[in-house]
């Protein structure tokens, strides 16, 4: 597992800042009537304007610059002619590569006024990510992270997708370790200062199993129920997690 030097941490901060800024830009642009492919175009242009590369494009053949996952699509949605409607639950997952280093971040937005269900699944997903992040520090175990996420999700009447997890990140978008969003306290990989990884739980209201569309990417809930996901790229420090993908307007926020 990669441990970052001070200089490498600086490079990861810059990559994370790009991904965060692009996702923030998308968030400001979302509106009803927009198509998912408009988000793809925005991410392409905004990423290039920042001197970076959209790392998902071509990743194992993924055909777009960004994952856009709407309503019952849990993740890896391919942006196309889907129309964002009032009430749509839209996860946008941006991965940027800058100077060979990666930042990876996802937020779920609701277009217009959320239904009670949408509000609940989105808020629980955000809080689950935060609960996982709160466990990240030098010496903690990945099982502590997964336990915190899963426990909160279930306490709120939701469930956690098990087939998609977080990951180490650095020179590659996906590298060791794999980060489960469920687990047992005190078990699993021990976190070390200088590791970078993501926490990115997908929270569902119904069944946590997912089915794959014929496109080979899109993963959806089998019962059509809503899913929501949030993701940050984190640096493990002695004092806790440094969030590398905080948007500038929120830098320093918890
Ligand atoms: N950004 C996703 C993640 O958080 C990776 C998507 S891979 C893609 O791990 F190929 F679907 F883009
Ligand atoms: Co990720
Ligand atoms: Co991601």
104 lines ligand 1 (CB under 6 A): yes
pLDDT at 254: 42
Ligand 1: atom nearest CA of 76 is 11
40 lines ligand 1 (CB under 6 A): no
Residue closest by Cα to atom 12 of ligand 1 = 56
Q: Domain segments of the chain: what residues? A: 6-245
Helix axes 6-29, 36-49, angle to 10 degrees: 140
The answer to whether 3 and 192 are in contact (CB under 8 A) is: yes
Select from 16, 3, 11, 12 the least CA-distant residue to 191: 3
pTM of the model: 0.97
Cα distance between residue 31 and residue 151, in whole Å:
34
pLDDT at 250: 54
pLDDT at 99: 98
Before 177, cis peptide (omega within 30)?
yes
- Name the class of domain 6-245: alpha beta
| Mean pLDDT, each 10-residue run in order, the chain (254 residues) | 96 98 98 98 98 98 99 98 98 99 99 98 99 99 99 98 98 98 98 98 98 98 98 98 89 46
For residue 104, the CA-to-ligand 3 centroid distance in Å is 5
């Amino acid at each position: 597992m990669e441990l970052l030097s001070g200089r490498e941490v600086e490079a990861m901060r810059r990559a994370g800042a790009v991904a965060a800024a692009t996702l923030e830009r998308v968030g400001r642009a979302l509106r009803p009537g927009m198509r998912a492919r408009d988000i793809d175009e925005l991410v392409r242009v905004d990423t290039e304007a920042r001197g970076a590369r959209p790392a998902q494009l071509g990743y194992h053949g993924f055909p777009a610059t960004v994952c856009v996952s709407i309503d019952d699509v849990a993740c890896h949605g391919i942006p196309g002619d889907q129309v964002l409607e009032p009430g749509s639950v839209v996860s946008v997952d941006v991965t940027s590569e800058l100077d060979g280093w990666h930042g990876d971040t996802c937020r779920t937005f609701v277009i217009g006024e959320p239904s009670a269900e949408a509000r609940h699944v989105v808020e629980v997903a955000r809080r689950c990510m935060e609960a996982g992040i709160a466990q990240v520090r030098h010496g903690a175990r990945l099982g502590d992270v997964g336990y915190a996420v899963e426990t909160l999700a279930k306490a709120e009447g939701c469930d956690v997708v098990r087939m998609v997890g977080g990951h180490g990140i650095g020179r590659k978008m996906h590298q060791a370790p794999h980060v489960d969003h469920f687990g047992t306290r005190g078990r699993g990989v021990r976190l070390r200062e200088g590791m970078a990884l993501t926490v990115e739980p997908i929270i569902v209201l119904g069944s946590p199993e997912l089915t794959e569309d014929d496109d080979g990417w899109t993963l959806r809930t089998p019962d059509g129920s809503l899913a929501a996901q949030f993701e940050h790229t984190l640096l493990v420090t002695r004092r806790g997690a440094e969030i590398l993908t905080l948007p500038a307007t929120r830098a320093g926020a918890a």
